[in-house]
Amino acid sequence: MATTATHMIAFMHIEWNGKESDIREDGQGPAVLLLHGYPLDGAMWSGVARALATSFRVLKPDLPGRGSTPDPVSGGIEAYADFVATILESLPAPAGLAGFSMGGYVALALMKRRPEKVKALALVDTRASADDEAGKEKRVEAITKVRSEGVGPIAEGMIGKMLAPGSLPRKDLLERLRRIMLRQSPQTVEADLIAMKERPDSTAFLSEIPIPTLVVVGEQDALTPPADSRAMADAIPGARFVSIPGAGHMAPMEQPRAVATALADFFGASLGAARVG
């Protein structure tokens, strides 16, 4: 493992699936990994990461199939979790882990398989339950669409559902979100859909999480509703719950400062670092 810096952009290099992957990082201090959602990449965390980097070493990996990260051979969400475990193994001490939406599914899969390298867990705009039959059918419909029409229709169909009504007039936010989505390949989007469709239910596992946990949700999240997030927090021993005003599902992009503050307070107490001012 090595770290290099070019034009103030730093990368941690790891080998996974026989290929090198570059993990973007910033800051110094206790390590915190930020796992992105679908159909996105690590750039969705940029605003949060900049704020956290004043107190933490923040890593924004691109999950398999995007950026420099190779596709997994097989394995769905569990393979994504194995990739994250490889990053954690390269760090000097147990780290903080925050998973957004699909990244939350990955974080929970990792906690089942390799919990020893995670010291504190944040679940952001995500859920523990598996897809029901209606949800699985929607995944199948999306797979069919991306195969026949590409990523564009998927992106355009999702944006309105991912943001709070008050965020929709923010053209810069919409364009950044659209740009991140449209640079994902159809193959990556399909792999994500299959992984999410086939993921196991983790609801019963919540009571077994042994480390400090924070559950964060946008106050107007229509995809992973606040009531579900609160129930998830209630099921995890000692978990904290934070609702982000003025945010929908994309709370880390809609209200990055508020999300960064919640994460910094939590990880600062759990990992030992100064609070973001």
Average pLDDT in the chain:
93
What is the rounded (10 degree) CA torsion for 111, 113, 119, 122?
Answer: -20
Range of the domain at 93: 2-130+200-272
Q: What tokens appear for 146 in the block?
A: 């991306």
Q: Does 148 fall in a domain?
A: no
**146 within some domain:** no
Q: Where does residue 10 rank: exposed (0-12), middle (13-18), buried (19+ CB within 10 A)?
A: middle
In a domain, 113, yes or no: yes
Contact 162, 139 (CB under 8 A): no
pLDDT digits (tens, 9 = 90+) for 47-74: 999 999 999 999 999 999 998 888 876 7
Asked if the model's pLDDT at residue 99 lies above 50, the reply is: yes
pLDDT in tens, 102-154: 999 999 999 998 899 999 999 999 999 999 999 999 999 999 999 999 999 99
Could you tell me if residue 79 is inside a domain? yes
Extract the tokens encoding 150: 């590409």
How many structural domains are present in the chain?
1
Cα 63 from chain centroid?
Answer: 9
pLDDT at site 72: 74
Task: Examine residue 179 and state whether it is found in any structural domain, yes or no.
Answer: no
pLDDT at 8: 58
pLDDT score of 235: 98
Calculate ∠ Cα 57-111-97, nearest 5°: 20
- Within a domain: residue 173? no
Report in angstroms the alpha-carbon separations of 50 from 4, 7, 55, 259: 18, 15, 10, 12
Whether residue 261 is contained in a domain is answered as yes
Place of tokens 């007039």: 169
User: How confident is residue 1, by pLDDT bands cut at 50, 70 and 90?
Assistant: very low
Burial call 25-63: b when 16+ CB within 10 Å, e when fewer: bbbebbbbbbbbbbbbbbbbbbbbbebbbbbbbbbbbbb
What is this structure's pTM? Answer: 0.94
155 belongs to a structural domain:
no
Exposed/middle/buried for 227, CB within 10 Å: 0-12, 13-18, 19+?
A: exposed
Asked whether residue 6 carries a pLDDT value surpassing 50, the answer given is no
pLDDT per residue as tens digits for the range 193-215: 999 999 999 999 999 999 999 99
CATH number, position 231 = 3.40.50.1820
Mean pLDDT of 5-11: 59
Task: With a cut of 60, say whether residue 2 has pLDDT above it.
Answer: no
